[in-house]
Each structure stands twice: as C-alpha cells, then as structure tokens.
Structure 1
Amino acid sequence: MEKQFNSFSEFYPFYLSEHDNTVCRSLHYIGSTLVLILLAVALVTSNYLLLLCLPVVGYGFAWIGHFVFEKNRPATFQYPLYSFMGDWVMYKDFLKGCLSRKTN
C-alpha cells in the first residue's frame, strides 16, 4: 500500500530511509554529478541533444543502486516529483556534510 505524504518535509525522512546502503547513495551522487556536468557541457557547447542523456544518466545510476545494492524499488515509481526533489536535496545535504555516514 502506498504511503501518503502531505508535504515534501514529511516525505524526505522516508526518502532517506530508502537510501540506507552506502553504495546506493554513492551511485545517486555519481549520477547527479554527471547530470550537472552533462547539463553544463550541453549549454556551453550548444549541443542540446546531450540533454536527452540526462534522465538516462541520472536515473540509470540511481536505479542500479536500488535494484542491485539497496534491493528495493525506487521511490520515483510511486512519488516522482517528491523523489526528484529528494535526489537533489540529498545531494545538497551530502555536499554540505549534513548526512550521517552509513556503515553498510
């Protein structure tokens, strides 16, 4: 049964709980970093076809993390907007050092 969330701040702790595995989180960070690099390259070079790669790179790394390491279903299937927001908030929190280190 799908959980109901009334706000993103209510959703985010659930989102983090779905990303306990360090390899899964690392793959999210790699995918997000590559998305930002691809976006910058596309804009600087005016090669806008590269933009088509953004979802493949971003979600590809994340989904490998979920299916192979976390062994769960990505939250994006049930909560696409909140999950997208969660990816970037988790990335920001990681860069700021706000996330606790997991040991699995």
Structure 2
Amino acid sequence: MARKKDTPQKAALREMMGNYLKENNVKVKDGTDFNSIMRDMMSIILEGDLDQEMDEELGYSKYDYRNKEKDNSRNGHSQKTMHTSYGDMEIDIPRDRKGEFEPQIV
C-alpha cells in the first residue's frame, strides 16, 4: 500500500530529518535512539518558543535594541529539567532582569 500524500509541512520535516540523520551519521537502532532524537528535537522547539515568548513579553526581538521601549531586558538563561515521555531533558529558560517573565509553554 502506498503512503498517502504528505502535507507540505510534513514533507519538509521528513526531508529535514532525513538530511539530519544522514549528515550526522545517526542510526536509529532501537527505542532508546529514537527517544534521544525526540528529546533533542523537543528541546530545540521548546527553547525557540520560549525565546519568542520573551520577545513578546519585552516587546522587541533579541538584537532589535532600537525598538526597545521598556526598561526590562534579557538576563541570560536558567536550566530546567523536564520530565517527558521520551525521558528527562534539560532546557534553557530565558530570564529577564526584573524577574517578571513567566513562560506559558512549560
């Protein structure tokens, strides 16, 4: 039976993951390998979303100092351990100087 047609997003992800696995010589031999890849992907996606949340909170993007209208700013990252179905993973949570940033996604 043939595979049904992918959405453009799924096709792009399939190509990206295929390239990643090939270029980094990653072999998925068992569930442990799969879980490791999923943890890495999930942490990258979450950290990107957290950075976007910080942009929205502060009202300007990371390197857009000209449009900075608030007295609050970025202040590095804190590490947090998340317990997921793929295992524990460390993610970097952005901080602001005033300690007002409350991430919504995690």
Q: Normalized against structure 2, the TM-score is what? A: 0.29
Larger relative contact order (Cα-Cα within 8 Å, sequence gap ≥ 6): 1
Q: Normalized against structure 1, the TM-score is what? A: 0.29
- Which structure features the higher share of helix residues? 1
